Copies of this chain bind each other. A is one copy, B any other.
Amino acid sequence: MEWQQVFSTRIARMKASEIRELLKLLDQPGIISFAGGIPDPRLFPDTAFQDAYSAIFSDGAGAEALQYSVSEGYTPLRDWIAGEMGRLGVPCTRDNILITSGSQQALDYLGKLMLSPGDTALVGWPTYLGALGAFNAYEPRYDRLSPQGNRSAQDYADAAEAAGGRVKFAYMSVDFANPTGETLDRATRERMIDLADTLDIAVIEDAAYQALRYEGEEIPPILALEIARKGSIDACRTLYCGSFSKSLAPGLRVGWVCAAKPAISQLVLMKQAADLHSSTINQMAIAEVASTVFDSHVAMLRDTYRARRDAMLAALAAHMPPGVTWIKPEGGMFIWLTLPARMDGADLLARSLENQRVAFVPGRAFHADGSGGNTIRLSFSLADPVTIDEGIKRLGALLSA
């Protein structure tokens, strides 16, 4: 069987992620890893989840939890999320919420909803690797979104048309983005709405890290700013992707899209055709845990991760040689380093693993155009402050050599 003969054209775009292959090699004993961007499992609210699963069965809801359920998602969970979105400045109802299997699935569905081959998606350089991976399946062209607004809307539209498609959406991770840790300020968010209005495109607002702010004031979601202009979520073009993976736990695969009803209705049909619905029992467990411990748990996470971020920032200041710069994140899990232009992150990783036993992720893979060779991503989510200092000291020694 020559499988290539029956594969679709999209398969040419779906290659193994270098980073994920790399990460498999990095989980070795003795290595200090700043590579993975995952939550610390020691911080999961496991007692709350244990109680939630137990209560489902002891309260006689076992049959409901084990049965098929509606594609939109579990009603009490959609209601809780609608309330939480309201707290973030996004008044809405459960009819504006679709439950997805993590926000990764939301990105996949949004690519599927909007992209035909040759259409243009505006993304940052660098941007979340998983967004590019999800969108690639729908064979888009990428154009570089400039949040500073130094390209005109007409410029984007012309380039898309010349490539044989249309700009369909601008994708952006708004708070403490993976990989850069950057947060879009309010003025930039407003400018993105202007751009989307002019181009008549959608905005995909990836808010996966939203709950993990360690300092500074919360900035309203783009969706909130758009509602403030237009009066109602149903008049808005922003599709907000939220997740419980960073705030509660990723292993249940529960996230959501919050958006105008016409978009949600079409996404519900898409979900019905693609996997019927997300796990019933997990949606019930998340609804229970969210409604009991969400705020106190997130407060604990913020305190813990803030200390790790501070330790890494202090260690970088102490140990990095001149010529290395980084972005101070106000939250999230990542610090993004720019090395001197002549250096290559992948080469540095090879030497770091061999000589210093420190792991991180080279930055090139986050760039849709293959640039960014002299960048690296460090995660502070998994190590304690003492280990962080030791790891950064070793990395600094390597960069100073």
**B42, A50: Cβ atoms under 8 Å?**
no
- Known contacts being A7-B113, A236-B1, is A49 close to B66, with CB within 8 Å? yes
A201 within 8 A of B: yes
Q: How far is the CB of A99 from chain B (nearest CB, A)?
A: 12
Question: Contacting A46 at CB < 8 Å: which of B49, B66, B119?
Answer: B66
Contact across chains for A2 and B200 when beta carbons are under 8 A apart = yes
Q: Mark A267-288, 1 if CB is under 8 A from B, else 0.
A: 0011011111111111000000
Any chain B CB within 8 A of the CB of A198?
no
Given known pairs A66-B44, A67-B251, A249-B66, the reply for A6 and B273 (CB within 8 Å) is no
Report chain B residues within 8 Å CB of A169. Answer: 6
Chain B proximity of A139: nearest CB distance (Å) = 9
Given contacts A200-B2, A253-B276, A272-B20, is CB(A41)–CB(B64) below 8 Å?
A: yes
From 1 to 52 in chain A, residues with beta carbon under 8 angstroms from any chain B beta carbon are 1-3, 5-11, 14-17, 20, 38-39, 41-42, 44, 46, 49-50
Of chain B, the residue at the smallest CB distance from A36 is B68
**Chain B residues, CB < 8 A from A189:** none
Please give the count of copies of this chain that the complex contains.
2
With beta carbons under 8 angstroms apart, the residue of B14, B108, B138 that contacts A275 is B108
Whether A130 touches B273, Cβ cut-off 8 Å, given contacts A279-B282, A282-B282, is yes
A70 to B32 Cα, complex, angstroms: 21
From A179-187, A209-217, A258-266, give the one contacting chain B: A258-266
A164 beta carbon closer than 8 Å to chain B: no
Write the nearest CB–CB distance from A113 to chain B, whole angstroms: 6
- List 16 interface pairs A-B (beta carbons < 8 Å), by A numbering: A1-B236, A5-B166, A9-B116, A41-B63, A42-B63, A50-B57, A66-B249, A68-B250, A68-B251, A101-B101, A137-B274, A252-B279, A253-B275, A253-B277, A279-B282, A282-B282
